Structure 1
């Protein structure tokens, strides 16, 4: 006797917030490739949904692009990576891992914002309920600074300044590196070595 196969269960549905996030994550790599020229049909295909579904959670393509920029700038993923760094490691190793996570965060922002700018996309005017420009960036920097300060905490007694100030200096060095294609970038360990030990190979009067 042939058994009748059990009917497949449908995957649980997503709420609008989850669907928005899923579409954003599918769209971000495509924005890096196509810039503002990316089509909603390509995004829908990448997300495995019908194109009409996009417009159930986004008013139009501009709103979707703005949401992708906001998601790229958001520090959540970088914060999660920083929080996963073991405090049992030496300080230099902790900061090297932090530098790699933050460099990846910056690269993601640059990919999205740079691709949109290069393809002629301009940010539309703020709505009355939207945060002032720069407010989100300040909050993101504060969150990242606090996360780096946590990594410094085990060595607090050895620091010349409070951990928050050291973290701010570290982020400043990391975020202001020259990014020209013809200039080699410091690796994370190289950057940390300069940060912790200075630019000189030896202090005046000391042998190298």
Structure 2
């Protein structure tokens, strides 16, 4: 007589882990569908039942607000910036940083645009970002850029922290007029060509 194997359930997730998993599954759908995304579609993408979504989020609006907050979090881009090798030339480090920041801004813009254009006003029901959160995000990103500049600080006209702020202001007001490599070149060396020695 064979024994029936005892089935064990996978270890349960904490509410925070389940929340993070649902948001991760929802983000690409929110970016694509905006508020038209259904909680059943999000649940399928997360591999859970729809009722599980509502054990973690009071309603769909709270989930959409959480997706917007996740898209705006700076820690993903700060991790990318910290992974840029410091032994590369400064121009290469800054070009990688500009691309990482561009991708971060694009993700934020995609999610915000999808939600806004489909009628969702993030934070209307009290989930507004904490005062100073934008400033705190900018400080984290600025510190990560300053870390990339530090190996070359002796060659900079200003301290790395100030150069970082100038670089970020350039990137955040940037249009697609220049490719990243040219933007970094102008930032590092100015707009005036060096005169050829006679």
Q: Secondary structure at the match of 2:84?
A: coil
**Alignment of structure 1 residues 192-203 onto 2, 5 Å:** 192-200=184-192, 202-203=193-194
1:68 aligns with 2:67: yes
**Alignment of structure 1 residues 1-150 onto 2, 5 Å:** 9-125=8-124, 127=126, 131-132=130-131, 135-150=132-147
* Equivalent-residue separation in structure 2 for 1:147 and 1:127 (angstroms): 31
In structure 2, list runs of 5 or more residues that go unmatched.
none
* Equivalent-residue separation in structure 1 for 2:153 and 2:15 (angstroms): 44
Q: What is the total number of aligned residue pairs between the two structures?
A: 197
Q: Using the TM superposition, give the Cα deviation of residue 194 of structure 1 relative to its aligned residue in structure 2, in angstroms.
A: 1.6
More divergent stretch after superposition (104-113 vs 191-200):
191-200
CA RMSD, Structure 1 to Structure 2 (Å): 2.2
Q: Using the TM superposition, give the Cα deviation of residue 124 of structure 1 relative to its aligned residue in structure 2, in angstroms.
A: 4.0
In structure 2, the partner of 1:171 is 168
In structure 1, list runs of 5 or more residues that go unmatched.
179-183
Q: Alpha-carbon deviations, 1:68-105, whole Å to 9, x = none?
A: 11110001110111111111111111111111111110
TM-score where L is the length of structure 1:
0.87
Mark the CA change 1:117 to 1:6 in structure 2 (over 3 Å): closer, same or farther: same
Q: Which of these residues, 183, 195, 198, is aligned with residue 191 of structure 1?
A: 183
* Equivalent-residue separation in structure 2 for 1:5 and 1:86 (angstroms): 54
* Equivalent-residue separation in structure 2 for 1:187 and 1:4 (angstroms): 67
Q: Using the TM superposition, give the Cα deviation of residue 141 of structure 1 relative to its aligned residue in structure 2, in angstroms.
A: 0.5
Mark the CA change 1:150 to 1:130 in structure 2 (over 3 Å): closer, same or farther: closer
In structure 1, the partner of 2:150 is 153
In structure 2, the partner of 1:181 is none
**Deviation >6 Å, runs of 4+:** none
